[in-house]
Amino acid sequence: MVVQNALQTIQHASLVDLAQEYVGNGWRVIPVPYMSKAPTINDWPNLQITLDNLDHHFSGGQMNIGVVLGQASGNLIDVDVDDDLALKLAPRLLPPTNCIFGRKSRPRSHWLYYAQPIQGTSKLVGPGRMMLVEIRGDGQQTIFPGSVHPSGEAIEFDDSGDPGHSDPTELQAAVTKRT
């Protein structure tokens, strides 16, 4: 499974084409309203979009594309790095992965791994309840490249290879490690 084709075609591809790439990777995709991060479809974690019905879900104009994480997508986990210092430390603290994406003002902020899924989200919160890092697993989703962030910035791959492999305990230790 390689995401490289999605990166090469992202400039000219329709959302249907990207959804096909992601489904081909074994990832469960869902439509998300344009410039939004939250799906609005009832029971979206259980929505089954296949190559046969992609057009029905992704050909209705501008929208974003989400990927359901955890077991639904082959144990895909997203480490979402929100804090500036954590973002600088991520390459030193997180396990290696070749699948990283973000947006212009926050590049390399989503690190993808295959790991036995955690339930829900594990969050590291800083002073003032500011989100530092989230590890998203089962029952969660993330908008992926091909989407537009609520800020208006395109979400794009920084590294488009295969997600790394990690143990959720190792990810949790890396996220909470102090330097």
- Predicted confidence band at 13 (pLDDT cuts at 50, 70, 90)? low
Would you say residue 179 has pLDDT above 60? no
Q: What is the pTM of this model?
A: 0.89
- Give me the mean pLDDT over the 154-175 stretch: 91
Query: In CATH, what number does 4-176 get?
Result: 3.30.2250
More confident call, 5 vs 85: 85
Question: Of all residues in the chain, what percent carry a pLDDT higher than 70?
Answer: 91
Report pLDDT digits (tens) over 92-119. 999 999 999 999 999 999 999 999 877 7
User: Do you know the residue count of the chain?
Assistant: 179
In order of 6, 19, 146, the CA distances from 14 in angstroms are: 11, 9, 8
Domain ranges within the chain, ordered by starting residue: 4-176
